[in-house]
Copies of this chain bind each other. A is one copy, B any other.
């Protein structure tokens, strides 16, 4: 199976429409149809149900969509890491969510910097879900992930930290005076919905909360009394403009450092090794 065939298949499987998929791929529809037929013939497997004029995935097709995406990401990762290895032999790219784990990150980088022959670490602070994607497709060599929001499946990782979560509320809100809250207190608060973050594909799920793409925007919305949110304790607060109340039954959030399996990079190994000596910060509420 060639990666070209995989790309074609994935486009059709996601669009469930040969014409639209062909547009995305910047090609005409007939060769795309033929390529898929040929792929089905070569695999000896029906990937689509073309009953009438609507296209649906078969069971086998769903499997190939899943596995194929992972495989394509692995190929892209191989390309990117190869190119980076040639361009800057002693540099590693670390991806982390902007705004999260600042203290952890600086400690980690400081510890690593003093190891002999430390490589230059290019720190990429990116949006929600991006660190995981960057690690998967080779744009990053190491990433700080937040569990349970990110999914470290397929990577090696070690935990750096674990913390509770707090509610961010507008100052003066009735709940803001409480010493602690539960998640149920915050569900369906009249006039204070929790915002919706983008899905991996950039779209938003249906719902009534405001849509939010970055953290500062979230804090602004809360300040304006239009939303509330549950965030890890260590998230930055931008001053004292919001009320902070612990949420006792929210998931614990773990920060892990993750890297691709089998990474033979000495630099990555040493960075991870120095991460082991980073103290497990228990973020306090009185910062």
Point out residues on A near B: beta carbons under 8 Å.
1-4, 6, 43-47, 58-64, 66-68, 70-71, 74-75, 77-79, 81-83, 85-86, 89, 138, 151, 153-156, 260-262, 264
CA distance A77 to B154 in the complex (A): 14
Copies in the complex: 2
Residue pair A66, B1 in contact (C-beta under 8 Å): no
Q: Contacts of A43 on B, CB cut-off 8 Å?
A: 79, 82-83, 86
- What is the CB-to-nearest-CB distance from A66 to chain B, in angstroms, rounded to a whole number? 6
In the complex with contacts A82-B43, A153-B262, A70-B74 CB distance below 8 A:
yes
Q: Contacts of A71 on B, CB cut-off 8 Å?
A: 71, 74-75, 77-78
Residue pair A60, B74 in contact (C-beta under 8 Å): no
Residue pair A83, B70 in contact (C-beta under 8 Å): no
Residue pair B1, A4 in contact (C-beta under 8 Å): no
Residue pair B66, A262 in contact (C-beta under 8 Å): yes
Q: Contacts of A60 on B, CB cut-off 8 Å?
A: 82-83, 85-86
A-B residue pairs in contact (CB < 8 Å), sample of 26: A1-B3, A1-B75, A2-B3, A6-B78, A43-B86, A44-B83, A44-B86, A45-B82, A45-B83, A47-B82, A58-B86, A59-B86, A59-B89, A60-B82, A60-B83, A61-B82, A64-B82, A67-B74, A70-B74, A70-B78, A71-B71, A71-B75, A153-B156, A153-B261, A154-B154, A154-B156
